[in-house]
Amino acid sequence: MTDYAYAGEILRVDLSSGKTWGEKFEAADRRKWVGGAGLGAKILWEEVPPDVGWDHPENRLVLATGPLAGLPVWGTGGLTVVTRGAMTNGATNTQANGFFGANLKYCGYDAIVFQGESPDWVYLHIRDDGVELRDASELLGKDTWETQQSLEKTLNLSGHNLSVYSIGPAGENLVRFAAIQGDYGHVASKNGCGTVMGKKKVKAVAIERGTKGVAAAHPKALFAAADDIAHSLQTDPSTRGLYLYGTLGGVRNLQGMGALPIRNYTTNVWPEEVETQKWEANGLREGFDHRGHQCSACGMHHCHMQVISSGPYKGQVVDEPEYEGWSGAGWTIGATDPQQVTWMNTQLDRACVDVNEFGWLCGWVMECQQKGYITDQDLGFRLEWGDIDGANRLLEMICKREGMGDLLAEGTKLAAEKLGGEAQDCAIYTEVNNSPRGHDHRSRWEEMIDTCTGSGGTMDTAPPVFPTDYGLPARVHPQDAEEVPKHVGGLRGRRAYEDSLGACVFTTRAPMDVLCRSIQAATGWDVDKDEAMQTGRRINALMRAFNLRCGIGPEVEKPSRRYGSTPVDGPIAGVSIMDQWEKMLDIWYETAGYDRETGRPKPELLRELDLEDVAEALWGANV
């Protein structure tokens, strides 16, 4: 058995003892679990029992890549973080890109698995086989960009010869929605994965661009498949905008369908004073000195750096926000000046929190202030809609857990529950505590049901990619209570498979048979789209089983009052998702093959997915 597409080793790090060792990534496990989310789910299921909560030393923090990482398919520097996360206290599946996966594999590892808890703050330095936990005391208090700059100095490296994935002050102070940020602008943000890293007292992972090689089974075919994926991304109407502008086009598109989460869901109408042109994809780009800053092997025109061209932050270098940044640091909190929003977005990356959750939290505080549920005295100052400096002040309070920041650091759901009453009613969250993405999901029902039922700290299925590959309609009406859950349930698995490849979900948006050709060429497997889907469903089912074992079941699969409310204005004013909610769940469960009552994947499904042991664990030996 060759090691095509794999480094072949998993780096184990026991923070309690300071020991590190390599463990074989068994060939037999590779095809079944692939890497990334799959590998992480397997480790979580096998090594994290129910009594090991997110903050228990024996929790695992898996930083995994996958078979495509380090290869010339576009966007293949991928990091998938799997852990028992601080938001849901259940499974986490969250991604970042940059050069993590490429540089790690050139060092000879497919994944890093942290266990235990370090007595003192450390960072993990990886340089080929040289793996070392080093004192991080000099890095403490630094934001993620400062941390990377500091390590570049310490290690005398520049550019992509060093990848640094770190936590900022938010992670150090166990802000519950802390993220892990790397390579200037790439954030694995969901489910408090940075909080877990902070609890383990790991400030950063610094990976030098290793000297080892990654082989492909059929390299020429791999280049050809990569070219075909690139061609599809460049020309398919569903991805061309993404190729040119990343997700910048989202703002205007979503605004048109009433899905822009303006001012904490209080309105769906674009404020009159906003210049429309500024918020077109090309308009958002023209306003800045713009510089390419791609991930490993990627030809997409996003993930850029930009220099702020006007206003108080003029001259500062920031990473160009994706849609989520324009939303979380912008529309959600009522900010409409792109120069300010892009600055705030980078502040969030540097402090290292989830931009969505911050948006919901900050927008909620703003609304509560306006309505008097949170007084100036409670907060310590007045925070109006669109006040970027105020939002940044709030961020600092949260990161340092100062004053009310200590409560807000627990995230929207816990803070709102604590305040209760009318304040709680205007907070956007899910009962399971998956942070919704930065849309108004009251007009995107597929995302609301996906966010509420997701087992990895966020959506499991995510926006449909070439649904016709699996016999589903190319698009369905976003408020169709029958078709939406069939779509979400029916495409369940594809995303989990993508999340296991070490690639970016933007660059895997190609027809599945084309994507499979790249995996075949990389690994030598005869994998097809059905196997890919089957594998993804296995991963989803295992994460769900993990959550059920942790006591997280269908009772929390619902939106908060505001999140599930009925829009008062805009294109879908008066259309209520909650009227259809139970019906949608019925269909979703049926489609996914899960038991409506208990939430468990059905035994026959688990057997079909080659998860006999899980079937036994959930249903007993005799079912």
Which of 519, 507, 495, 95 lies closest to 298 in space, CA to CA? 507
CB of 106 to another protein, least distance (A): 7
State whether residue 271 is helix, strand or coil. coil
Cα 234 from chain centre:
24
Measured from the CB atom, the residue of 162 and 452 that comes closer to another protein is 162
Q: State the Cα–Cα distance between residues 254 and 250, nearest whole angstrom.
A: 6
Which of 108, 123, 55 lies closest to 83 in space, CA to CA? 55
Q: Are 591 and 484 in contact (CB under 8 A)?
A: no
CB of 70 to another protein, least distance (A): 6
Residues in the chain: 623
Cα 149 from chain centre:
24
CB of 104 to another protein, least distance (A): 13
Measured from the CB atom, the residue of 307 and 617 that comes closer to another protein is 307
Measured from the CB atom, the residue of 291 and 583 that comes closer to another protein is 291
Measured from the CB atom, the residue of 216 and 341 that comes closer to another protein is 216
CB of 322 to another protein, least distance (A): 16
CB of 159 to another protein, least distance (A): 3
CB of 154 to another protein, least distance (A): 10
Which of 447, 445, 440, 426 lies closest to 262 in space, CA to CA? 440
Q: State the Cα–Cα distance between residues 42 and 32, nearest whole angstrom.
A: 10
CB of 310 to another protein, least distance (A): 15
Residues making contact with another protein (CB under 8 A) = 70-72, 74, 99, 102, 106, 127-128, 130, 132, 145, 149, 153, 155-161, 183-184, 209-216, 219, 223, 230, 291-299, 304-305, 307, 315-317
Q: What is the DSSP string of 88-118?
A: TSSB--EEE-SSHHHHHHHHT-SEEEEES--
Q: State the Cα–Cα distance between residues 96 and 80, nearest whole angstrom.
A: 7
CB of 525 to another protein, least distance (A): 18
CB of 593 to another protein, least distance (A): 38
Q: Are 280 and 252 in contact (CB under 8 A)?
A: yes
Query: CA quadruple 379, 385, 390, 392: dihedral positive or negative?
Result: positive
CB of 216 to another protein, least distance (A): 7
Measured from the CB atom, the residue of 102 and 260 that comes closer to another protein is 102
Measured from the CB atom, the residue of 300 and 449 that comes closer to another protein is 300
CB of 282 to another protein, least distance (A): 18
Q: Are 569 and 268 in contact (CB under 8 A)?
A: yes
Question: What are the backbone dihedrals phi and psi of residue 403, each rounded to the nearest 5 degrees, phi first?
Answer: 55, -130
Which of 10, 215, 192, 29 lies closest to 114 in space, CA to CA? 10
Placement of tokens 């939406």 in the chain = 484
Measured from the CB atom, the residue of 461 and 507 that comes closer to another protein is 507
CB of 72 to another protein, least distance (A): 5
Placement of tokens 């505080």 in the chain = 365
Measured from the CB atom, the residue of 158 and 377 that comes closer to another protein is 158
CB of 302 to another protein, least distance (A): 10
Q: State the Cα–Cα distance between residues 279 and 337, nearest whole angstrom.
A: 9
Measured from the CB atom, the residue of 106 and 279 that comes closer to another protein is 106
CB of 519 to another protein, least distance (A): 15
Q: Are 423 and 414 in contact (CB under 8 A)?
A: no
Question: What are the backbone dihedrals phi and psi of residue 248, each rounded to the nearest 5 degrees, phi first?
Answer: -60, -30
Q: State the Cα–Cα distance between residues 122 and 542, nearest whole angstrom.
A: 32
CB of 294 to another protein, least distance (A): 4
H helices of 236-354, where?
A: 240-245, 250-256, 281-286, 323-328, 338-351
Measured from the CB atom, the residue of 352 and 383 that comes closer to another protein is 352
Amino acid identity of residue 124, one-letter, is L
Measured from the CB atom, the residue of 4 and 466 that comes closer to another protein is 4
Q: State the Cα–Cα distance between residues 261 and 265, nearest whole angstrom.
A: 5
State whether residue 112 is helix, strand or coil. strand
CB of 184 to another protein, least distance (A): 5
311 Rama class: left (phi>0) / alpha (psi -120 to 50) / beta: left
- Residues facing 95 on adjacent strands: 80
Question: What are the backbone dihedrals phi and psi of residue 332, each rounded to the nearest 5 degrees, phi first?
Answer: -60, -35
Query: In this structure, how many other beta carbons lie within 10 angstroms of the beta carbon of residue 86?
Result: 28
Q: What is the 3-state secondary structure (H, E, C) of 494-541?
A: HHHHHCCCCCCCCCCCCCHHHHHHHHHHHHCCCCCHHHHHHHHHHHHH
H helices of 387-480, where?
A: 388-400, 405-408, 412-419, 421-425, 445-453
State whether residue 483 is helix, strand or coil. helix
Question: What are the backbone dihedrals phi and psi of residue 407, each rounded to the nearest 5 degrees, phi first?
Answer: -75, -45
